Copies of this chain bind each other. A is one copy, B any other.
Amino acid sequence: MATGDPTTPDVMTPDAGTAPSARERLLDAAVDHAARHGVSDLSLRQLATALGTSHRMLIYHFGSKEGLLTEIVRRVESRQRAQVAALAGDDPTSPTSLAELWDHFADESLWPWERLFFEVYAQALQGRPHARGLLDEAIDAWIDPLAEVLVARGTPPAHARDDARLMLAVTRGLLLDLLATRDRNGVDAAMRRFVALTDRRRADRD
């Protein structure tokens, strides 16, 4: 009460070494909520009541709405990275097939996350500051692991990074399609065409 400002805890310290529990639980729940309802018309109060707390607590833990959004984006990012790691390091002896990869991403259980990803991505493209972080990793972080997968499948290393970039674009583009049309069959057919293209080339050894 006498101390200058007992509430807002410096904005820097709480996430450093201490406070593993409460804030973390809140963040998890917030990310979950964001995946279900989107993030662009999110209000602290609605979110707080949905999470069973008060908007004061969100400010307390995350400093501001921007801070909370930034943290949500960071978590989405880390989920993305975890997926990269999973697909790259997951048994390098048997190279993952592109079809497997696609099956993974196209699974309906991931749709809310992918919707959220594209939403934040779009906000980042419009310069919204809290989303900036996503942009830096959105491409680069994927190219190397994808290139590894491609090389393991026979792509000549000289073209691996370009092909990986293309592969990433195909995946995201078809994901946009899938989320809009929900036409899994149609999108699968398009992906099969892409796989056929690359396989044909692989047979030609170029």
Interface residues of A (CB under 8 A from B): 37-38, 40-41, 115, 118-119, 121-128, 135, 138-139, 159, 162-163, 165-166, 168-174, 176-177, 179-181, 186-187, 189-194, 197-198, 200-201, 204, 206
A169 touches B168 (CB 8 A): no
A200 touches B189 (CB 8 A): no
Sampled A-B contacts (29; CB under 8 Å): A40-B123, A40-B128, A115-B125, A115-B126, A118-B118, A118-B121, A119-B122, A119-B123, A119-B126, A122-B122, A122-B123, A125-B179, A135-B180, A138-B180, A139-B180, A139-B181, A159-B193, A162-B186, A162-B189, A162-B192, A169-B170, A169-B172, A169-B174, A169-B177, A172-B173, A173-B176, A197-B198, A197-B200, A200-B201
3 nearest interchain CB pairs?
A169-B173, A173-B173, A38-B126
Pick the most buried of A125, A172, A179: most chain B CB atoms within 10 A of its CB. Answer: A125
Copies in the complex: 2
On whether A177 and B168 interact (CB within 8 A), knowing A123-B119, A125-B115, the answer reads yes
Contacts of A128 in B (CB 8 A): 38, 40-41
Which of B40, B162, B163, B193 sits near A166, CB closer than 8 Å? B193
CA A195 to CA B10, docked complex, whole Å: 54
CA A137 to CA B38, docked complex, whole Å: 22
On whether A163 and B193 interact (CB within 8 A), knowing A135-B180, A173-B172, the answer reads yes
- A116's nearest neighbour on chain B, judged by CB, is B126
Q: A119-B123, A169-B173, A197-B200 are in contact. List 19 more A-B contacts (CB 8 A).
A: A40-B40, A40-B123, A40-B128, A115-B122, A115-B126, A118-B122, A118-B125, A119-B122, A122-B122, A125-B180, A139-B177, A139-B181, A162-B189, A163-B190, A165-B187, A169-B169, A169-B170, A169-B190, A172-B172
**Minimum distance in angstroms from A116 CB to a CB of chain B:** 8
